[in-house]
Amino acid sequence: MTPTPSVQIGEWTTITPDSPVVGSVLRGAVLSAADRELLAELEGRVSLRITELRTGLAISVGPHIGTLNLSCLRLVVMPKIRIDNLMRMVAYAFELSDLVVTETRSTYATAEHGLIDLLGLSLLRSVERLARGGLLPDYQSRSEDLATPGGRLDMRHISTHPRQATLHCRYDDLTVDHALNQTLAAGLRLAAAMMQSADLRLDLARAADRFFGDLTRIRLDAQQLQALVDGLDRRSSHYRTALTLIALIQHGARLSEHAEAGAMPLSSFMLDMNMLFERFLGRYLRENGPDDVQVSSQEVRSDVFSYLENAAGWNQPTIRPDFVIRRWRTVIAIADAKYKNRHEHPPTSAELYQLTTYGLSYSMPEPHEVLLLHPVGPGDTGCAATLLFAPSAAGEQVRIRLVGVPLDGLLDGTVERWWPLDRCGNSDEPVRASFVPF
């Protein structure tokens, strides 16, 4: 069987049949009906667009990385930051303190494999550590007919079944067959179906059978999985890394319903870098700000817009800036995270409208400070820019500043001190913070 050709591109990239090097793979490529159905499902969920042209396919991708398998080609979208730093970013953003990032692991993400294999390998190692320490047991309520009394007798059941030779009892059984371990098993099996490496798929499937073969099988549910993560306590906190990795894998996965029997069922895995960038910054700003500065994330306000007439009964409009930065209780800046290369993508009118609305919605010293945070790589020269919204009819001014975040430097430790506000409020001293990566 002829192997499916592979195309490797970077995020925020557009390629066509006329593109050098990779264009030859796209030239003459045709989508199948199953491919079109998958792309229709992905539309609106990921920043990936594939257009059928007379000469082949045109592909455009934004702030998503990962893998897409089609009948005619395999697409690998790689991040602009280094792979080992990407894993550090995942570990820090999702508070996976025991996720070990090594050079050996970082070389695993190549055009032959991809990011999903890195996450799958991390999941396998995390579950192996849990299993070596012994799976956490828990009491589960049981109800069944017993030959001899055990636990609490169900007198109502016994009274309505007087001729039954057994006794219906309710009791608590200490077992490892409960939701946490069942979810680990389901997560391993999901990951085994998705890996690009055949060896890794086999290792994950074997681990599911070896550690959880006798457990009740369940179907993964995103809401129940998040409820398990939120409900972890002191006894079960060591499950956080494995459960969070499973949630990440499930969130980014799109499994094909049209895979042939025995074929690799993965259709796509796409990770939203904008979401990851925002989560990383949220934790960084909260943990590395000055002592008198507080940062809140995703602060929802419904008191900015008010209907004077609303015959249709529409819901109240809200605003939700990514970050609100306060000194004590006074707002000193609003910040929004946008994972874009600002050298190639200057702020759009829609972004400026949004940021201006944020700035006018909070009481703060003039001009109202709004930060547009974006990543910069080690080779970027920086594209600092400042815009002032000061129409003659307005009584307040908004200053929008583009601030580059040195992601690679923060993650690998080469940048020791950084803070997005060079001056905080009316202070004459620059405000800096240090960050120690995993």
Q: What is the pLDDT of residue 165?
A: 65
Strands 167-175 and 152-153: antiparallel
> pLDDT for 177-196, tens place per residue?
888 999 999 999 988 888 87
> pLDDT for 390-412, tens place per residue?
887 667 889 999 999 999 889 88
Lowest mean pLDDT among 95-99, 290-294, 336-340: 95-99
- Residue the block writes with tokens 């199953």: 34
Q: What is the pLDDT of residue 263?
A: 44
Q: In this structure, is residue 181 part of a structural domain?
A: no
The whole-angstrom distance between residue 24's C-alpha and the CA centroid of its chain comes to 33
Q: In this structure, is residue 354 part of a structural domain?
A: yes
Q: What is the pLDDT of residue 98?
A: 60
Residue 107 has pLDDT above 60, yes or no: no
Region 371-375 average pLDDT: 94
Q: In the chain, pLDDT over 90 holds for what percent of residues?
A: 35
Q: In this structure, is residue 40 part of a structural domain?
A: no
Region 97-125 average pLDDT: 64
Q: What is the pLDDT of residue 293?
A: 92
Q: In this structure, is residue 39 part of a structural domain?
A: no
The residue among 114, 148, 175 that closes a domain is 175
Q: In this structure, is residue 203 part of a structural domain?
A: no
Cα separation, 16 vs 24, whole angstroms: 9
Residue 436 has pLDDT above 60, yes or no: no
Q: Domain range for residue 169?
A: 138-175
Residue 282 has pLDDT above 60, yes or no: yes
Q: How far is CA 33 from CA 17, 38, 40, 51, 432, in A?
A: 21, 9, 11, 14, 54
> pLDDT for 40-95, tens place per residue?
888 888 899 999 999 999 999 999 988 888 888 888 888 888 888 888 898 888 88
Who's near 144: CB < 8 A, 6+ residues apart? 168, 169
| pLDDT tier at 328, thresholds 50, 70, 90 | confident
> pLDDT for 229-243, tens place per residue?
889 998 888 898 899
The residue among 114, 146, 175 that closes a domain is 175
Cα separation, 45 vs 23, whole angstroms: 26
Q: In this structure, is residue 193 part of a structural domain?
A: no
Q: Which residue has the higher pLDDT, 259 or 163?
A: 163
Q: Which residue has the higher pLDDT, 12 or 169?
A: 12
Q: In this structure, is residue 304 part of a structural domain?
A: yes
Cα separation, 372 vs 390, whole angstroms: 18
DSSP assigned state of 111 = T
Q: What is the pLDDT of residue 334?
A: 96
CB 195 within 8 A of CB 120: yes
- Report the number of distinct structural domains present in the chain: 2
Q: Which residue has the higher pLDDT, 92 or 155?
A: 92
Q: State the chain's mean pLDDT as an integer.
A: 82
Region 252-268 average pLDDT: 52
Q: In this structure, is residue 229 part of a structural domain?
A: no
Q: Which residue has the higher pLDDT, 99 or 351?
A: 351
Region 154-178 average pLDDT: 72
Q: What is the pLDDT of residue 371?
A: 95
Residue 377 has pLDDT above 80, yes or no: no
CB 371 within 8 A of CB 423: no
Which amino acid is present at 97? Answer: S
Q: What is the pLDDT of residue 324?
A: 96
Neighbour-count burial for 157-188, b at 16+ CB within 10 Å, e otherwise = eeeeeeeeeebbbeeeeeebbbbbbbbbbbbb
Region 123-127 average pLDDT: 90
Q: What is the pLDDT of residue 353?
A: 94
